[in-house]
Amino acid sequence: MKKLGYILLVIVLASCGGAKKVTTTETVEDISSKRLVKEYYNNAIDFTTFDARTKIKYRDKKGTKPTVTLTIRIEKDKQIWMNASLIGFSGARALITPQKVQFYDKLNNQYFDGDFAFLSQYLGVEIDFFQLQRLLTGQTVYDLREGKYTFKETQNGYEVIPRKQLDEVNLFFGINTQNFVTQEQRIEQKDNGGSLDIAYGDYKEVGTKIFPFLLDILADDGKNQFQVQIEYRDIDLNGEVRMPFSIPSGYQEIKLNAKK
């Protein structure tokens, strides 16, 4: 996904006569959308650091894998650290920054040191650091303040769709009207038929906000499909976090294969 160049609610100022009276092209729909977006972000958690313990369930065409404990730590807009363990033993660790993706797998003695092409390939849609950060913290993958959207009222809330879909992807978001939180989101990649669906649930209080303690992710790259369920157990905000990471020597590097 390329960086978005859209700006939410463009306000045009014009001069009329010597008094320079200011007018605007902002419509009633623009004003309503602006209020909804403001309410949505007022209800989102704000943090400098995010530290969570989770349980991960994974399923693909080969079946369901054993449940994994995953610690997720985020230093906002700087780095995301993950440590996965099975039956108490650390099996894999990852460090993700806006520039690169790194991880190593202790079970298979492998490592990866590259860019977001890795995550994009396996999620089925292109994704960057900031979109991943928003996904993990309960927000829409695209920032609703950086575009113009149509809000269509439904039985449970609002269906949010860009007024003009992007060249690369189609976007669909669902926002609950009771608490103005994310219910679901869908990203469809136009060139390869890939899609990413995320459903959010089991909202609980974290500080003064509410946060989804359950994420259901369905990823499809056009050929293969897998499901991941993230169940948050404990979440701490704004504390000191450690993110130790060093690729062990002697591990085999994972190389990406070009898609056919």
The predicted structure's pLDDT at residue 122 = 63
Domain hosting 162: range is 28-253
- Is the residue at 8 inside a domain? no
Task: Say whether pLDDT at 3 is over 60.
Answer: no
User: Rounded mean pLDDT of 75-104?
Assistant: 88
CA angle (55, 60, 62) in 5-degree steps: 120
Tokens of 140: 């829409």
Overall number of domains in the chain:
1
CATH number at residue 78: 2.50.20.10
- Is the residue at 11 inside a domain? no
Task: Say whether pLDDT at 52 is over 50.
Answer: yes
CA angle (138, 94, 122) in 5-degree steps: 70
Task: Say whether pLDDT at 98 is over 50.
Answer: yes
- Is the residue at 6 inside a domain? no
Residue 130, φ and ψ in degrees, nearest 5: -70, -35
pLDDT in tens, 174-210: 998 778 899 999 988 887 778 889 999 999 999 889 9
pTM, entire model:
0.80
Tokens of 245: 């990471």
Dihedral (Cα; 246, 124, 79, 82), 10-degree rounding? -50
- Is the residue at 237 inside a domain? yes
Tokens of 165: 């879909």
- Is the residue at 91 inside a domain? yes
Out of 87-96, 108-117, 125-134, 136-145, pick the least confident. 87-96
Q: What is the mean pLDDT of the chain?
A: 81
The predicted structure's pLDDT at residue 255 = 80
Confidence of residue 138 (pLDDT cuts 50, 70, 90): very high
- Is the residue at 21 inside a domain? no
Out of 19-23, 243-247, 249-253, pick the least confident. 19-23
Out of 33-42, 75-84, 118-127, 193-202, pick the least confident. 118-127
Burial class of residue 200 (count of CB atoms within 10 Å of its CB; 0-12, 13-18, 19+): buried
Instruction: Describe the chain by its helix, strand, coil percentages, rounded to 5.
Output: 15, 45, 45
- Is the residue at 259 inside a domain? no
pLDDT in tens, 54-66: 999 988 888 888 8
- Is the residue at 175 inside a domain? yes
